[in-house]
Structure 1
Amino acid sequence: MHVGIIGVGLMGHGIARNVLSRGGFGLSFLDHPGNQPTDEIRDLGGTPCATPAEVAAVSDVVILCVTGSPQVEAIVAGEGGLATALRAGAVVVDCSTSLPETTLRMADAVRAAGGDYIDAPMTRTAKHAHEGTLNLLAGGAAEVLDRVRPVLASFTERVDHVGALGHGHRLKLLHNYVSVGFMTLLAEAAAQAADADVDPQVFVDVLAGGGGASAALDRLAPYITQGDREGLPFFVSNAQKDIGYYRVMSEAAGARTTIADGVHAALAQPVEAGRGDAYVPELVSLFRRDPEG
């Protein structure tokens, strides 16, 4: 199978290198200014393409790893999009974080063009993408998923089939709500502790020894104690976007969003202040009484 990928960013770069180096598949990618540097991908044999349609024309599997629903819709159904040039029987694997409603609409467009669609968002970090140990939450027909498992195996540790089409993105938004919600709460507490001159290592140790022990603490602790943000290279703007998607999904389902509203408002403050490009661990500083201090 020849693989196409659209979105060679923090996550997509690791996916692309492992599709080539571990999987041994041919790879074409969309040449886009939002990509990470692609020298390594080109050196491994990856071929740049000018449009999504060009990627579709040569690919049996097309992986999407872009920011969100507007980008997915433009790539799949827009002018020069995948649906205009998709190979018969090709499978689009959407690893983006998107709205379930978008998944269903784009799947209809792909099926009308003769292909199939899987939503398979990721639950790990850019480090895992680089190492080829991502976890995927895959929604869609089991037989379609089975057709692309050899490709997915090149960059994943596990792939869970979580239900019908759209359930991958629904569960990803539930997952990110819990994960980002925990980290936002922890960052606010860490900021308050810092403002009160609490020793940061003592703060971390107290939480780790009690009810605050969590993946959120593990990911933010290096920043709290050492100012090291690199353990979680995830933009605050993307975190806000994911919580916004969760709220949209919840409101459509008639579910309550009381806590989600608060998390979204907390994340909106640094984004509106022009710090959306900060990594999530940096919220610890951005939430302080004097963020510039």
Structure 2
Amino acid sequence: MAKVAFIGLGVMGFPMAGHLKVKGGHDVTVYNRTASKASDWTAKFGGKSAPTPAEAAADADFVFTCVGNDDDLRSVTIGKGGVLESMKKGAVLIDNTTASAEVARDLYDAAKAKGSDFIDAPVSGGQAGAENGLLTVMCGGDEAVFERARPVIDAYARMVGLMGPAGSGQLTKMINQICIAGIVQGLAEGIHFGKRAGLDIEKVIDVISKGAAGSWQMENRHKTMNQGKYDFGFAVDWMRKDLGIVLTEARANGAKLPLTALVDQFYGDVQAIGGNRWDTSSLLARLEK
């Protein structure tokens, strides 16, 4: 059992912190900007809550963050009352936010300057993966620190890998989002084409999902896409945030991402028709409008 702090109890962080408490058996203290969510968490899982990130992190062996973006992350880590004000020497800061590689490298340096350690550890698997403790976790940092943190991360993961030095986890998550964007657009166009051709989409998917066209998106999203249901899952707003990070990094490293840039624009079209909180599979709605 370790002493753990978890900062950020959104749709991902809430169940992830729960797995650390229940499955991992750790002594967990949580912080959330909206205090009522922290109260809901302690009512459900036990543990403790704290009024600031710094107070949650004091005396913790591992401090997890799972917040919205780079600015939120800097606020809860190096800002006033942030976790690095109080983290003890040798403690590990593990960031599950999908953020930039730049902020990951900055936090690695900031943690080291305080005598602590840092792992960037963005996740993939969505809300269902978080709730079921089956997330894929892509890590960047020092190997010895990763090996120390991995048994704790395992509480909410089915796959945990060290991708390289600080920032490598975030870069790997960018590749994850690049691949998802292209696959979802292809699936949306395929279903749209099949409907226009008068085919039974369920029969079509039942056959082609067993071949080279098969994917997680096809298996898990084709039914709701065919039904025009999108009020769940990974929100378009979040995907655009992620793709914005991807495209900024691509401009810096010279990578050419024409399909990713195009799909990002398509998600902008979905936002324009009111789909900000729809699942990312709502690219089909844009074609059927």
TM-score by length of structure 2 reads 0.90
Aligned to 2:6, what secondary structure does the other structure show? strand
SS in 2 for 1:249: helix
Alpha-carbon separation, structure 2, partners of 1:92 and 1:178: 28
Shift of 1:188: 3.7
AA aligned opposite 1:108: D
Comparing 89-98 and 62-71, the one that deviates more: 62-71
Output one character per residue of 1:171-226: Cα deviation in whole Å (capped at 9) or x when no partner: 11111110122113322442454456543324424542554222221122121344
Q: Structure 2 vs 1, CA of residues 272 and 51 (structure 1 numbering), >3 Å: closer, same or farther?
A: farther
* 2:51 partner amino acid: A
- Render the CA deviation track for 1:226-280: whole Å, top value 9, x for unaligned: 45558x7101111111111111111110111211210111111122444211112
Contact (CA 8 Å) 2:91, 2:116: kept in 1 or not? yes
| 1:210-229 equivalent positions in 2, closer than 5 A | 210-227=211-228, 229=230
The aligned counterpart of 1:97 is 98
Q: Would you say 1:183 and 2:179 are equivalent positions?
A: no
- Which residue of the partner structure matches residue 237 of structure 2? 237
In 1, Cα distance between equivalents of 2:67 and 2:195: 35
Aligned length: 288
Tell me the residue number matched to 2:5. 4
Change (3 A) 1:223 1:36: farther
Distance 1:37 1:278 in 2: 26
For each residue in 1:125-151, what CA deviation from the matched residue of structure 2 results, as whole angstroms up to 9, or x when unmatched? 322222222221111111111222231
Asked if the contact 1:195–1:288 (Cα under 8 Å) also holds between the matched residues in 2, the reply is no
Residue number in structure 1 paired with 2:23: 22
Query: What percentage of aligned pairs have identical amino acids?
Result: 27
CA RMSD of aligned residues (A): 2.3
Note the 1:1-293 alignment, pairs <5 A: 1-33=2-34, 39-194=40-195, 197-205=198-206, 207-208=208-209, 210-227=211-228, 229=230, 233-284=233-284, 286-290=285-289
TM-superposed CA distance for 1:8, in Å, is: 1.5
CA distance in 2, matches of 1:162, 1:220: 28
Structure 1 segments unaligned to the other structure (5+ residues): none
Whether contact under 8 Å (1:187, 1:287) holds in the other structure is no
Normalised to the residue count of structure 1, the TM-score between the two structures is 0.89
Q: Which amino acid aligns with 1:241?
A: K
Output one character per residue of 1:49-108: Cα deviation in whole Å (capped at 9) or x when no partner: 222112222422111112222221222122221222222221110111111111001211
Q: For the structure 1 residues 72 and 258, does the alpha-carbon distance in structure 2 shift closer, same or farther, using more than 3 Å as the test?
A: same
In 2, the alpha carbon distance for the partners of 1:21 and 1:190 equals 41
- Distance 1:265-1:252 versus aligned 2 partners, 3 A rule: same
Q: Equivalents in 2 of 1:186, 1:65: separation in Å?
A: 30
